[in-house]
């Protein structure tokens, strides 16, 4: 199931960036949450976050709507 979420995030984020090859996701499974750490190139941070965080919030809304058994999902953006 984590793979589905990971593929969804990559499908959404890669077209937004100028360097799609640098987009990576690390999955960290905790007790309560499964965290997806999205890594993009520094010059693409603004493109992924958007004005006032609107783009990343829209991505989170889509990702959080994916049903995952047992754990909640977090999507974090890192350099």
pTM exceeding 0.85: yes
Query: Do the beta carbons of residue 40 and residue 77 sit within 8 Å?
Result: yes
Alpha helix (H) residue ranges in the chain: 2-13, 45-49, 54-64
24-61 pLDDT, tens digit per residue, is 999 998 888 899 999 999 999 999 999 999 999 999 99
């Amino acid at each position: 199931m984590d793979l589905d979420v990971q593929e969804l995030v990559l499908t959404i984020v890669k077209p937004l960036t100028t360097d799609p090859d640098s987009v990576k996701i690390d999955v960290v499974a905790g007790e309560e949450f499964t965290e997806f750490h999205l890594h993009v190139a520094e010059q693409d941070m603004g493109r992924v976050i958007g004005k006032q965080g609107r783009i990343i919030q829209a991505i989170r809304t889509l990702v959080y709507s994916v049903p995952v058994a047992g754990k909640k999902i977090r999507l974090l953006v890192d350099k």
